[in-house]
Chain A
Amino acid sequence: MYEKPSMYRTLFLSLLLTGCANSIYFYETEKISLTVEARPDSTQPVQGNLGIKQRVAMIVPRKSNDNADGKDGEALSTVSSFDFRIMDDKNFFRFNPILIRTAFVTGEAADKLYDKAPGVAKVLSSYDQALKEIKVESKQLDEIIAHVAKDSDIDPGKLDELINKAEKNHPNILTSTVKIKLREAKKQSELEDLLFNNLDRAIYPLYSSISINQ
């Protein structure tokens, strides 16, 4: 019963907007909510909820083209994209930042996005590939840290042993300057920072050497 006025309003608005030639009605809302609940009882875990709500509405009139066959053209093409990720970033105050990417492309731009602008598609795919590689490297880095660290300190003997094993198979990566830098790391955070930000090329050689003669 109470929904009727709202329905009439929407219908009237739709007719009003579509009645105008070449007019488009576009509506988008995004709502994000975060709830964190903690209790004084230390045995109870901290609980949290993250919610995202997105609503997109579009009213598009038919496009009137002067086609050779005399028929009207199709409605405007649209491309919509929504992406939600939790990124592995050990340097972001020990929290994993949340990345939300949304895009809405219409008309000829949407039609030609991949045909006429391959560079755009290339950047999007390279970004996804970069995220995948970082995720894999982060997991391997965790394994390395678990192998050479005790609490927050690095066990220099274990680190040295791992470096020497990795050097045998990857001498062009575990060069003398790289080995010196790695051996300077005394704390877990120092080694994490060094490998993640600057020596990420050395992560796989070190990771793959963990299981050798273990």
Chain B
Amino acid sequence: MNNTIRIIVNSDENDAQVSAQKLQIKGFQTTITKTENIVLDGTELGGHLDILSDPDGAVFVVTGTK
């Protein structure tokens, strides 16, 4: 089981690459996924329900696991 999963959403691919590199330097294994809409549902744990998208184009989801 992973200890931590970090999810970072960027609107720019280059920013996503930098975010992924930062996580890798800190010991995370990363993936970058390109998509149009992101729905984050953390309500069961007392968090928020968020829907994220960029009207200018795609968004990039950086997932880091450690």
Interface residues of A (CB under 8 A from B): 87, 122-123, 126-127, 129-131, 133-134, 177, 196-198, 200
Contact = CB atoms under 8 A, between A and B. Distances in A.
A130 B18 contact: yes
Given A177-B46, A197-B4, A123 B26 contact: no
Interface of B: 4, 6, 14, 17-22, 24-27, 46-47, 66
Q: Is the interface of A mostly helix, strand, loop or mixed?
A: helix
A91 B26 CA distance: 9
Contacts of B26: 134, 196-197
A122 B4 CA distance: 27
Nearest to A127: B21
A131 B18 CA distance: 9
B4 A130 contact: no
A134 B22 contact: yes
Contact of B21 (A87, A126, A177, A200): A126
B24 to A, nearest CB: 8
